[in-house]
């Protein structure tokens, strides 16, 4: 009650005509983080609903918790496994050794803590730098700081490699927030996913730090290729030959970005988002149908020179960032299609494109990031044609 009274007491200073009027977005951001917003719709049309932006964003962040937990454990597991062969190195190893935690890969607690020492600097950098840009634009435009950045910051951090330099993390989130969202008017007006926009910028600007075999397990002298890189070079059977089963990929005990490795964790989050109706199931069905259909067609066609033609859909499902992108990026409501038929088409386009990029383009075996950004660009056009088709159909019916 004391804190609530404090906010009520100082609020007039931040309202129009108050001493700190221009800093109202900062006040509103802090108050909304601690309490449910008091503002309501004041003009028609409006609808009564328990769902508000804060609740939606909170649900999405909750849905990422399984990915965070598995990601922390997997980073620590991969690093501790490498340490058992090469010996510990780096300041993180010094911190763990100082507290007597050790580097035993069979110790889940040690794995979680070691993984956290990689994830937290990336996330804190993302939150601080991106938050500064959000507050800056909100102050200049005199509108509230939207809670959507909490989701953007979490998703951006989870799709980064654990060895990403922090200055590049800051540069990428700056590009994603400013160029991917704010130049178009802010949250709700962007047609590109800001987290993917920042990640794509880093991939093309600094490919050595965003791809390759040495960034996924950040230990000097250790190299570990991702499953997709192995499949692109020698076929998906080589993944199994190197000791990684489909179940390993499904659970997430593989090389990859921080939060993308576990398809199981992603699908747990998907169930939560579908139950709470935050994610639209039509987008999920469309993306799965596009991926399964096109990958199956390529399996039938076959190729003597390209081993990726033989990768079945259930391997596409669990390797790389497909599952994470499907759950948290394809279903993102702002940049996706908004008509029901358009959602099927939009999802199917992304599913088709991710297989196309993975199989046909050997320079970029991942594919999901570019496929989603490609779908973002065409989402308004898809909705336009769907709406026009509905108008023509109704005109014929009423004629």
pLDDT at 100: 80
Q: What's this model's pTM, rounded to 2 decimal places?
A: 0.86
Does residue 66 form part of some domain? yes
Burial 362-377 (b: 16+ CB within 10 A, else e): eebbbbbbbbbbbbbe
Query: Do 22 and 128 reside in the same domain of the chain?
Result: no
Give me the mean pLDDT over the 129-144 stretch: 82
Query: Do 206 and 95 reside in the same domain of the chain?
Result: yes
Q: Closest Cα partner for 172 from 151, 148, 202, 206?
A: 202
Residue 135 has pLDDT above 90, yes or no: no
Does residue 247 form part of some domain? no
Under 8 Å CB-to-CB from 36, ≥6 apart: which residues? 52, 54
Query: Do 207 and 311 reside in the same domain of the chain?
Result: no
Picking from 206, 224, 242, the residue at the C-terminal end of a domain is: 224
Query: Do 391 and 347 reside in the same domain of the chain?
Result: yes
- Model pLDDT for residues 92-131, shown as the tens digit of each residue: 888 888 878 888 888 899 999 999 999 999 999 999 999 8
Does residue 246 form part of some domain? no
CA-based max dimension of the chain: 81
Does residue 229 form part of some domain? no
Query: Do 69 and 168 reside in the same domain of the chain?
Result: yes
Give the containing element (helix H, strand E) for 316: helix 313-318
Q: Which residue has the higher pLDDT, 155 or 216?
A: 155
Q: Closest Cα partner for 292 from 317, 309, 273, 272?
A: 317
- Burial class (CB within 10 angstroms; exposed 0-12, middle 13-18, buried 19+) of 179: middle
Reported as a pLDDT band with limits 50, 70 and 90, residue 43 is very low
The domain of 115 spans 53-224
Tokens coding 53 = 């932006």
Query: Do 31 and 60 reside in the same domain of the chain?
Result: no
**DSSP assignment string, 115-160:** HHHHHHHHHHHHHHHHHHHHHHHHHHHT-PPPTHHHHHHHHHHHTS
pLDDT at 298: 96
Residue 378 has pLDDT above 70, yes or no: yes
Scan for tokens 């309501």, then name that residue: 40
Scan for tokens 């503002």, then name that residue: 39
Residue 2 has pLDDT above 80, yes or no: no
Residue 79 has pLDDT above 60, yes or no: yes
Does residue 375 form part of some domain? yes
Q: How far apart are CA 354 and CA 368, in angstroms?
A: 5
What CA dihedral angle connects 99, 105, 109 and 115, to 10 degrees? Answer: 80
Reported as a pLDDT band with limits 50, 70 and 90, residue 224 is confident
Q: Cis peptide before 374, with omega less than 30 degrees from 0?
A: no
Query: Do 88 and 176 reside in the same domain of the chain?
Result: yes
pLDDT at 55: 74
Q: Which residue has the higher pLDDT, 182 or 309?
A: 309
pLDDT at 184: 80
Number of domains present in the structure of the chain: 3
- Model pLDDT for residues 311-359, shown as the tens digit of each residue: 999 999 999 899 999 999 999 988 899 999 999 999 999 999 999 999 9
Query: Do 152 and 105 reside in the same domain of the chain?
Result: yes
What's the Rg (C-alpha) of the chain? 23
What is the percent of the chain where pLDDT is above 70? 84
Give me the mean pLDDT over the 48-63 stretch: 74
Query: Do 374 and 307 reside in the same domain of the chain?
Result: yes
Does residue 42 form part of some domain? no
- Burial class (CB within 10 angstroms; exposed 0-12, middle 13-18, buried 19+) of 184: middle
* Contacts for 239-244: CB closer than 8 Å, 24+ residues apart: 239/315, 239/319
pLDDT at 9: 67
Query: Do 93 and 29 reside in the same domain of the chain?
Result: no
Q: Which residue has the higher pLDDT, 37 or 241?
A: 241
Reported as a pLDDT band with limits 50, 70 and 90, residue 190 is confident
pLDDT at 23: 59
Does residue 43 form part of some domain? no
Q: How far apart are CA 177 and CA 172, in angstroms?
A: 9
Query: Do 179 and 302 reside in the same domain of the chain?
Result: no
Query: Do 171 and 199 reside in the same domain of the chain?
Result: yes
Alpha helices in 252-280 (DSSP H): 263-275
Q: 3-state DSSP call for residue 386? A: helix
């Amino acid at each position: 009650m004391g804190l609530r009274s404090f906010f009520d007491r100082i609020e007039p200073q931040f309202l129009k005509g108050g001493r700190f009027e221009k800093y109202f977005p900062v006040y509103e951001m802090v108050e909304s983080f601690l309490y449910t917003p008091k503002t309501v719709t004041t003009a028609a049309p409006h609808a009564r609903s328990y769902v508000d932006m804060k609740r939606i964003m909170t649900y999405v962040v909750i849905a990422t918790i399984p990915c965070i937990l598995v990601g922390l454990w997997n980073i620590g597991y991969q690093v501790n496994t490498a340490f058992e062969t090469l010996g510990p190195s780096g300041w993180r190893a010094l911190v763990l050794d100082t507290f007597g935690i050790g580097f035993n890969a069979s110790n889940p607690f040690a794995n979680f803590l070691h993984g956290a020492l990689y994830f937290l600097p990336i996330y804190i950098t993302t939150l601080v730098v991106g938050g500064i840009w959000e507050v800056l634009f909100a102050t200049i435009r005199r509108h509230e700081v939207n809670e959507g950045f909490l989701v953007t910051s979490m998703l951006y951090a989870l799709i980064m490699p654990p060895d990403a330099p922090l200055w590049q993390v800051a540069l990428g989130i700056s590009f994603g927030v400013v160029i991917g969202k704010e130049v178009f008017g802010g949250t709700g007006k962007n047609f590109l996913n800001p987290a993917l926009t920042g990640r794509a910028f880093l991939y093309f600007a600094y490919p050595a730090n965003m791809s390759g075999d040495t960034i996924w397990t950040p230990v000097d002298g250790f190299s570990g290729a991702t499953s997709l890189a192995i499949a692109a070079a020698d076929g998906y059977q080589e993944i199994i030959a190197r000791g990684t089963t489909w179940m390993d990929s499904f659970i997430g005990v593989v090389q990859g970005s921080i939060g993308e490795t576990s398809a199981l964790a992603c699908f747990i989050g998907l169930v939560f988002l579908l139950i709470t109706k935050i994610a639209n199931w039509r987008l999920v069905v469309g993306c799965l149908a596009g991926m399964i259909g096109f990958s199956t067609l390529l399996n039938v066609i076959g190729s003597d020179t390209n081993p990726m033609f033989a990768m079945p859909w259930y391997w596409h499902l669990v390797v790389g960032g497909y599952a994470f992108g499907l759950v948290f990026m394809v279903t993102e409501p702002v940049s996706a299609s908004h008509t029901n038929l358009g959602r099927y088409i939009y999802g199917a386009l992304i599913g088709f494109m991710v297989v196309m990029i993975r199989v046909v383009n050997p320079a970029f075996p991942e594919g999901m990031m570019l496929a989603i950004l490609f779908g973002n660009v065409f989402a308004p056009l898809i909705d336009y044609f769907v709406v026009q088709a509905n108008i023509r159909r109704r005109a014929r019916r009423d004629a």
